[in-house]
Amino acid sequence: MTLTGVVGAGVMGAGVAQNLAQAGHDVVLVDNDPDAVTKALSTIELNCRTSRLLGGPDLDPDAVLARITAGTDLAPLADAETVIENITENWELKRALYLELDQVVRADAVFVANTSAIPITRLASLTRRPRQFVGVHFMNPVPMKPAVELIPGHHTSPEALERVRALLTSMGKKAIQVNDACGFVSNRVLMLTVNEAAFLVHEGVADAETVDEVFRSCFGHPMGPLQTADLIGVDTILYSIEVLHEHFADSKYRPCPLLKQMTDAGLHGRKTGRGFYTYDAPAAPSPVAAAGNGSRPSAVTR
């Protein structure tokens, strides 16, 4: 197996690193926040221990973690054949990172952007290797989701695309190829749905649990849009919608003020223990009555 770099040790980065390691790849996991690195390793260990209980494979946490080298220094990425970037959906942060990565990572390596909305061609323009730049939109939780969006940029070479497709296959992923566009397919639709669901709560039409119940009971969705927002991260949802709004300059992507308020308040969903729901444990949601008219979700659980 090859050495793969993973940059960003948040929810998505930890999931990507775990998925790679349990598939037998050696992984270098890097984040500029040492606390994020520590938390990611703890999360991976917990995920491995509970994998079988959640319907996944029986994993040995020690064996998975033994394949992951984690730290805050980009230098170990120099030997990676592929580097998967998973940092916050913020253009300036990504710009600064890619300029640095381009200097550190070997010239024949492929960059993979795990982005929710930013066009791949735009990100590739930050590097000296646009032909070796591919977009992959992983779904959360990464180790348990069987499919991804695979997005070539304007200059992506067939060879780079096939290298990434092969890597995804080794991770047990079905790669669904789509053309490069802001938000791709999934988030072009999903973010509008989540945003409108947040507006329903913001306007007092219904609370979060009721909105989600309509989607679960009437449409047969396993999760409602606001449960999905908590799983992805309310802050990530907001940043993705802001990217869509900026890119298309279309008012239909105007972010709901409640998402902005929740992001500012640190109510980011499962990863912080509070979002549209409260969480006593990672897998135990308790719905909150999220009041409308711009107020933040109530602390009173049902």
User: Which residues participate in catalysis according to the annotation?
Assistant: 116, 137, 149, 187
31 appears as a binding residue in the annotation:
yes
The answer to whether residues 86 and 136 touch, using CB atoms and an 8 Å cutoff, is: no
CB-based contacts of 151, cutoff 8 Å, min separation 6: 120, 134, 135, 136, 137, 177, 178, 179, 180, 184
Instruction: Say what the alpha-carbon torsion angle 267, 271, 273, 277 is, to the nearest 10 degrees.
Output: 70
- Report how far residue 49's alpha carbon sits from residue 277's, in angstroms, rounded to the nearest whole number: 25
- Residue 252, marked binder: no
Query: Distance between CA 87 and CA 32 in Å, rounded?
Result: 10
9 assigned binding-site residue: yes
> 262 labelled as ligand-binding?
no
Question: Is residue 195 a known part of a binding site?
Answer: no
Q: Is 12 annotated as a binding residue?
A: yes
CA atoms lying within 13 Å on the CB side of residue 98: 27
* Token pair for 220: 């047969």
Q: Is 11 annotated as a binding residue?
A: yes
233 annotated to a ligand binding site: no
Q: Give the residue numbers of the binding site.
A: 8-13, 31, 89, 94, 116, 140, 271
Q: Give the residue numbers of the binding site for NAD(+).
A: 8-13, 31, 89, 94, 116, 140, 271
